[in-house]
Chains A and B, each alone.
Chain A
């Protein structure tokens, strides 16, 4: 029995009596609802990643190819954090090597010392390096501390709260990663041709992928993400299906019920909450206004006294944190974590980019819309046409959108100045 056409199923099995196929019966609500739920859940994750793409594009006008790898790192960091906090097979936490504490502590101390000397001797450079070291040290210690907090929370049975701390760790780590990527790779290229920045972004992406799969990082074998968030079936929606018999009477069948899972609700809810926060931040706060100003025109923004470099860094950190959250949630929904350089990951990130483009790149609300759209198209195509071609639907949509409306659904067209 094959499935042909969209949304309609030809029932090859006849009722109790006839041997000929029965009449066509209506759209199967059960499958539709299930697909809708999956599509929305994954679509909201796409939207989270797409936000990072779209914010960076809005400000710096280039595709941050490394963004999808930050997302992957988000998933893997939460894996490490979860194991360190005690989500292992036998329940014992993976040890944190003590030298990590010492290292971070000494970096912090050395940084503080350097800052102080720099301040006293009025050497700006020394002070700057010192501040950086203080930041690194403080970041490291707070992450390590959070791991301990998480361990304690898990020990006392507060699993949901501990899961939140894991999410926080992933977001902090990836935020730092985003900061470093921007400062080290992209900042030196400010003002150079866009092609060069694009190539650098590809370089950073390849670097993260292949660094991540070195044996002393996460290796090349897939791992199973421990399930941190609680999961159970919240409620079921049972479906009934009518089938017209030969005599014209309708026979009703009970189909498999649609299960609404807690995990999906939490994942979708977290994504929505984060997106609302971001929307408020971009459209309703001072830093958000600065971000929009820089995206409109960096030169003018800097003349108006906006610290452009800091705003750009902030944008990267914000995008990376959202990507990390998406990575964490994705790992919860699909616990088989693939190696960091796996093509599947890269494609996932690219689909999120497609979402940003479809929604109108540079437009925060467009990214959310595009993410949902891509998720739905992918899942409906996979459910009703062929699951082998799910990437094809997304990229075909991208090509169509770019050719018909290059600025995306919510984007506005730009005119090149001659």
Chain B
């Protein structure tokens, strides 16, 4: 594996301040702020339609924020295109799995190493030395990542033929191949059974320690979130209604209200 190339500036890995986004009249996210220190494992929860995935889309540049600041490792990234944000060290998985289905599993991971490839198209066509060294390195890195996720013997199957749980794992592996500083996981446990969830819990922790990443996690499974996240942010109707440790969140009446209904009080508040 490559030597770690990291800017060890002391600041937070990701800092979001006052980000808002609306679609037409709908205010999807309002005044969203968040700070992730290096090595954090934070949860982002909220009822359906609260704007969690919109937050991810704003962070990764799929949507352009209407207002606010997003700072990744000391660099402002608000409003730039997703590919440049990925190159600066933020990677994500998708709620509805978005793998490159027709491509082999290994190519899915190799593709994500693309950010770091420096040889040109001409180099690839002429088989320059740099091209061959980089391709060899990409292959090696991809295979070792697949090894971590126990997908190595599936490397040459088409990604769409993997079982559901392995597709979710492959998404995480693919995201890690971009060498992110911050990893955004969008409902990684969705559709998994309880056994798979336990394995996933261990995997997420292992990923954080092994790859030295900061993780922000959207999850509906409260058990999982409460167990692995150190801090949790709760969104409802696009606004942050609570922030704190799992214990604090569990006891927070606003959160309980948001989850258990009582719509009148919330709109009234």
Q: Which residues of A contact B (CB under 8 A)?
A: 415, 418
Contact = CB atoms under 8 A, between A and B. Distances in A.
A415 B23 contact: yes
A317 to B, nearest CB: 35
B100 to A, nearest CB: 14
A140 B221 CA distance: 62
B58 to A, nearest CB: 11
5 contacts: A415-B23, A418-B53, A418-B57, A418-B62, A418-B94
Contacts of B23: 415
Contacts of A418: 53, 57, 62, 94
Contacts of B94: 418
A413 B57 CA distance: 19
Main SS class of interface, A = loop
Interface string B87-99: 0000000100000
A408 B242 CA distance: 44
A418 B186 CA distance: 12
Contacts of A415: 23
A287 B186 CA distance: 41
Interface string B1-40: 0000000000000000000000100000000000000000
B129 to A, nearest CB: 38
Interface string B45-67: 00000000100010000100000
A65 to B, nearest CB: 25
B141 to A, nearest CB: 27
Interface residues of B, number: 5
A418 B95 CA distance: 9
B142 to A, nearest CB: 25
A418 B94 CA distance: 8
A415 B94 CA distance: 18
Nearest to A413: B24
Contacts of B57: 418
Interface string B207-219: 0000000000000
A312 B61 CA distance: 38
A418 B58 CA distance: 11
A418 B96 CA distance: 8
B63 to A, nearest CB: 8
A415 B23 CA distance: 9
Nearest to B23: A415
Nearest to B56: A418
Interface in B146-189: none
Contacts of B62: 418
B25 to A, nearest CB: 14
B96 to A, nearest CB: 9
Interface in B53-111: 53, 57, 62, 94
B26 to A, nearest CB: 11
A418 B57 CA distance: 8
B268 to A, nearest CB: 31
A415 B54 CA distance: 13
B83 to A, nearest CB: 15
B8 to A, nearest CB: 33
A418 B28 CA distance: 14
A408 B53 CA distance: 30
B147 to A, nearest CB: 30
Q: Ordered nearest first, which 5 A-B pairs have the shortest CB separation?
A: A418-B62, A418-B57, A415-B23, A418-B53, A418-B94
A105 B147 CA distance: 70
A12 to B, nearest CB: 56
A412 to B, nearest CB: 10
Nearest to A415: B23
A80 to B, nearest CB: 47
A192 to B, nearest CB: 14
A177 B240 CA distance: 57
A417 to B, nearest CB: 9
A418 B60 CA distance: 12
B204 to A, nearest CB: 22
B42 to A, nearest CB: 21
A415 B62 CA distance: 11
A415 B64 CA distance: 13
Nearest to B94: A418
Contacts of B53: 418
B236 to A, nearest CB: 21
A415 B63 CA distance: 10
B29 to A, nearest CB: 14
A397 to B, nearest CB: 29
A32 to B, nearest CB: 42
A418 B82 CA distance: 13
B78 to A, nearest CB: 18
A24 to B, nearest CB: 50
A415 B57 CA distance: 13
A418 B62 CA distance: 8
A70 to B, nearest CB: 34
Nearest to B57: A418
A418 B53 CA distance: 9
A415 B53 CA distance: 15
Nearest to B24: A415
Nearest to B53: A418
Nearest to A416: B62
B93 to A, nearest CB: 12
B69 to A, nearest CB: 22
A194 to B, nearest CB: 16
A179 B24 CA distance: 39
A299 to B, nearest CB: 16
